Every structure is written in structure tokens, then in C-alpha cells.
Amino acid sequence: MTPGFEVLLVDDEPIVGKRLRTALERAGYRVEVCETGASALARIEEHAHDIVVTDIRIDEVDGIEILKAVKARRPETPTILITGYATVEVAREALARGAFDFLAKPFRPKDLLRVVDRAAAQIEERGGKGGPAEGP
């Protein structure tokens, strides 16, 4: 477990945001939650998060656009997609576009933690955090 990694969580379901924040924080991550695609895009501009977790279907700006924005800015940042329905096409498309992995709803906090941990491990392997952690 690598504490201090910053995770940007994008989901329009407030409960998902709250629960995943709790789960990730307990695992030692720092979590920022965005409930709209637009605010998420704005945050990506401002700040380099270590890991991005986004729902595919949010609003006018969907998860694929967020993935593209992250990849355009920082291609090495692992981006994990959450899909409402796991079909082979969605998964294939997500991975083809450079997603780190995808999760199909419904999932357990453990499932996400496992993927996020893997992403964190990959970042560490590559040579530490993408950027210094801010704050405590």
C-alpha cells in the first residue's frame, strides 16, 4: 500500500463519491471527488492527480472525454473507467483508448481498491509518484 497518492474520482452519483472516498481514504489515498464532467475537466487542467477514476456516463462530458483529456495532458496517469454495463465492446474501447483498466457496476470497494493499488504499484515501479504530494 502506497499512501499519499492522489485520486480524482468522477461520478455523478453522490453516494458513490462518498463511499469510495471513505474506502480510498481508509486505504491511505487522498481523494478528490467531482460530480460533473465539466468540473472534472477543469480540475484536470489545474492539478496533476496520480490516478483518475471516472464513470463513463456522467453528463454532457462523459468518461471517455475525461480519459482523452488526461491522456492528452499526462499520458502516464493511470485512468480507471467505471461502466454501467460491462460489454466486451465498451471494455475493448476503453482499453484501446489507453485506460488502465475498467470496472463494471456494481462492484465492491475492494474491487476498486485492488485496481487502484495495482495502478499505484505501477506508478511506483515506474519511478515513484508523478508529482509530490501536497499537504499532509
Partner 1 sequence: MTGSPGQGSSPSRGPDLRSILTSTRFAGRADDVGEVADRELEARPPFTIRMRLILALGVFFLLYLLLVIWAIGFLSRIHEKVLFLEVANLYTAEIQQARRFEKNYLLYGTNLEDAVEHARRARDLARTHGGRFESVAGPEQSRVMSDHVARYLRLLDDIARAPDRAARGAIEREIRDHGAAMVRLAIECMERERRGLDRMLYLARRVPWIFLGVLLLLMVLAFNFVARPIVGALSRFMTYAERIGRGDFTPITPARKYRDEFSKLALTLNRMMRAVDRQHRILVESHKMRAMGNLVAGVAHELNNPLNNILLTACLLREEGEALDETEREEMLEDLVSQSDRAKRIVQNLLDYARETESKLEALDLAAIIDHTLRLAGNQIRMKKVRMTLELPEDLPPVHGDRQLLGQVFLNLILNALDVLPEKGEIRIRAETGRQEGFLAVDVSDNGPGIPEHVLDRIFDPFFTTKPQGRGTGLGLAVSHGIMNKLGGDLLVRSTPGRGATFTVLLPVTTIPGTVSSPGGGPGGEEAG
Contact residues for partner 1, defined by CB under 8 A:
13, 15-16, 19-20, 22-23, 26, 57, 60, 84-85, 105-110
- Closer to partner 1 by Cβ: residue 98 or 109: 109
Taking the complex as a whole, the smallest distance from the CB of residue 61 to partner 1 amounts, in Å, to 11
Q: Which of 126, 117, 125 is nearest to 5 (CA)?
A: 117
Taking the complex as a whole, the smallest distance from the CB of residue 83 to partner 1 amounts, in Å, to 9
Q: Where are the alpha helices (DSSP H) in 7-108?
A: 14-26, 37-46, 63-73, 88-96
- Closer to partner 1 by Cβ: residue 19 or 126: 19
Taking the complex as a whole, the smallest distance from the CB of residue 102 to partner 1 amounts, in Å, to 14
Under a CB-based contact definition with an 8 Å cutoff, are residues 63 and 40 in contact? no
User: Could you count the other beta carbons within 10 Å of the beta carbon of residue 74?
Assistant: 16
